[in-house]
Amino acid sequence: MKKAWSKGLAILLTAGIGLTGCTSADGQDGASADSGSQPAADATAPGSFPIVKDKVTLKVLVTGNSLIEDMNTNAFTKWLEEKTNVHIEWEVAPASNPNEKLNLVLASGDYPDVIMNFGISPTQQLIYGQQGVFMPLNELIEKYGVETKKLFERYPNIKKAISAPDGKIYSLPRINENYHDLMNQKMWIYTPWLDKLGLKMPTTTEEFYQVLKAFKTQDPNGNGIADEIPLAGAKEKAHQPIRFLMNAFQLDNETTSNRLIFKDGKIDVAYNKPGWKEGVAYMHKLYAEGLIAPEIYTQDRAQLKQMTEKQDAIVGTATANIIQDMTNIAGKLNRWKDYKTVPPLKGPNGLQITPYNPYPFATGVFVITRNCKNPEIALRWADAMYNEEFTLRSVHGEPGVDWDKAAPGEIGVNGKPAKWKKLMPFGIVQNKHWYQSTTTLQDLELRGSLYADPNIDAEKTLWDETLKNYDSYKAKVEDMVPPIFFTEQQASELADLEKTVNDYVEQMTTRFVTGNVSIDSQWDVYVKTLENMNLKRMLEIYNEAYTQQYKKG
């Protein structure tokens, strides 16, 4: 079992950490924070500042960020210490490979007080939590989590999603409710070509096909060369055309990496359904007629940008969540302003839908270990970050320098009066703030109240395009598979099954689209192979875990 678990975990949790050193040197599981944590004698009332009258030090292991110069001298670090009277003794894991450092720390048993911004998976949280390495936070939240309780009242689905099957919460999340990310499967079309050829915005798969043919054959860029690329994309998930087009035939749930759906009240997969076959056949038709760039399987989004930024426009349509991932919004051509979104296409059977993410949070952002002597202070420190001022300072920097309150009359990206505006660009090397390294709350109201600069209005464009073309077609919340905790045994068994199945699906979908394998003659073989890979057992595990977490009681 142990050998199988080690092998399985390496596959299942490639974005996370291996599980080693789960018990202390003496073999004990450690004490629970819910079983007798005492507040510091000089602590102030929950929700007030400073948190303590006499300074307290917390040891924090954090994932490094190449865009932050120094966590020790960072302006937000200094402001936060003055505000809370909590000093942080930082241990920064290398940004290039943070999990290696985390593995060593966990294996040693010499844990810091807090582990922050490692994206610790639900399965890891459950295993380390049940072995006493990570403290359960429920009672701490109830006693001291002023902002966290407000968050849970607003987002009960998030509270449920971060609660393990044993009912305990082992980690606090980071909320980033970015409107355009809630519906992130978008197709962009170069509207000057539509205008030149007298074409309307396509609304069905057949209309889209006809538009692509016109782009290929009617020289819309007018240079006399057959250099037009009707449909482009890239190998990154959000840039794969099938992720957008499949939803006209079969819901392709982008909120998960493995295309899970609900069918008849149970978790199922999309890729063995008749609609999937129809969608892949449609993609093959486009590919066979030269309407899709073959580079969609090999190039990255930087190379996609190179396609769209040539002097003569050559890309008619492309898939990307945000416009700046496929064009240069700071370039001389300013071509990005002429790309507009294509609404979800209606398929031959009337399906017209876009995947929706009702869980806009990052899990495993903040955990407290059993070595923490002041867990209530650690919880209050993280809880404060959900406050709007703390969030803005943490993510964007110093007010009046890096961001400021909006002036009267300035309008936000959501079309309502703006509350704040950026004074400095985001994504540069700096020492003013932490970007998104901790528990913060960027909800729709905060994101939408950002001042829409008329000179650089990409955020406004994204908001407007999402509202206009996608919001009314978004899938129902109850149709989206939520985040799921797995037990150690479930995770071990699932790991090999899921990797084998997913690799095969990706391989065969590509071969079907390119025509390397005939979908008409080989579809039944494909479905049978999935059965032989024990897809049934994979889904049984998912449904067992889902029932444990969401349907108990």
Burial of 265 (0-12, 13-18, 19+ CB in 10 A): exposed
**Tokens 């889904």 map to which residue?**
539
Q: Are 17 and 118 in contact (CB under 8 A)?
A: yes
- pLDDT of the residue at 120: 94
Q: Is the dihedral of CA 310, 314, 316, 321 positive or negative?
A: negative
210 plus 299 within the same structural domain: yes
108 shares its domain with 247: no
> Are 530 and 504 a contacting pair, CB within 8 Å?
yes
Structure-token match 């890096």, residue found? 402
Boundary residue ending a domain (315, 342, 369): 342
Below-50 pLDDT ranges, the chain: 1-36
Give the pLDDT score at 159.
96
Of 465, 482, 468, the closest CA to residue 543 belongs to 482
Residue 255 has what pLDDT?
Answer: 65
Tokens of 13: 């949790």
pLDDT value at position 13? Answer: 40
Mention every residue, 6+ apart, whose C-beta is less than 8 A from residue 289: 213, 216
**Is there a domain that residue 17 lies in?**
no
- Domain shared by 188 and 316, yes or no: yes
Residue 5 lies in a domain: no
For residues 234-245, b (16+ Cβ closer than 10 Å) or e, as one string?
A: beeebbbbbbbb
* Domain-terminating residue out of 471, 505, 528: 471
Same domain, 222 and 321: yes
pLDDT of residue 39: 62
Nearest CA to 356 among 179, 485, 205, 484?
Answer: 179
> Closest Cα to residue 164, out of 484, 522, 521, 529?
484
pLDDT at 17: 34
Tell whether 10 is covered by a domain: no
DSSP states of 170-200: --EEEEE--HHHHT---EEEEHHHHHHHT-P
> 310-339 burial, b if ≥16 CB within 10 A, otherwise e?
eeebbbbbbbbbbbbbbbbeeeeeebbebb
Give the pLDDT confidence score for residue 298 in this predicted structure: 96
Phi, psi of 240 (to 5 degrees): -85, 120
- Residue 526 has which token pair? 């494909």
230 and 95 co-located in one domain: no
| Closest alpha carbon to 504 in 482, 525, 483 | 525
Domain span holding position 381: 41-183+358-471
Task: Return d(Cα 63, Cα 89) in angstroms, integer.
Answer: 14
pTM, two decimal places: 0.89
- In the chain, the number of structural domains is 3
Token pair listed for 426: 């985001």
Q: What is the pLDDT of residues 251-289, one digit of tens each?
A: 998 766 679 999 988 999 999 999 999 999 999 999 999
Q: Identify whether the C-beta of residue 451 lies closer than 8 Å to the C-beta of residue 410.
A: yes
Are 192 and 338 in the same domain? yes
Tokens of 537: 């057992």
pLDDT for 253: 85
Cα(452)–Cα(450) distance, integer angstroms:
6
Q: By C-alpha distance, which of 122, 103, 112 is closest to 362? A: 122
C-beta of residue 192 within 8 angstroms of C-beta of residue 199: no
- If asked whether residues 453 and 507 sit together in one domain, one would say no
How far is 139 from 454, CA to CA, in rounded Å? 47
Q: How far apart are CA 215 and CA 57, in angstroms?
A: 63
55 lies in the same domain as 79 = yes
Q: Are 71 and 175 spatial neighbours (Cβ–Cβ below 8 Å)?
A: no
Interatomic CA distance for residues 64 and 90, integer angstroms: 10
Same domain membership, residue 337 and residue 371? no
- Selection from 203, 179, 183, 201 nearest residue 192 by Cα: 201
Q: Is 224 exposed, middle or buried (CB count within 10 Å of its CB: 0-12, 13-18, 19+)? A: exposed
CA–CA gap between residue 205 and residue 346 (Å, rounded):
6
Q: What is the DSSP string of 414-452?
A: TSSBP-EEESS-SSS-BSS--SS-S--EE-HHHHHTBB-
Q: Where does a domain end: 420, 445, 471?
A: 471
The position carrying tokens 């359960």 is: 136
Q: Do residues 178 and 190 both lie within one domain?
A: no
Report yes or no on 2 lying in a domain.
no
pLDDT of residue 40: 65
Question: Is there a single domain that holds both residue 145 and residue 81?
Answer: yes
Q: Which of 398, 383, 348, 441 is nearest to 154 (CA)?
A: 441
The pLDDT tens digits of the residues spanning 30-86 come to 334 443 455 666 899 999 999 999 999 999 999 999 999 999 999 999 999 999 999
390 belongs to a structural domain = yes
Does any domain span residue 498? yes
- Same domain membership, residue 159 and residue 61: yes
Q: How far apart are CA 42 and CA 81, in angstroms?
A: 16
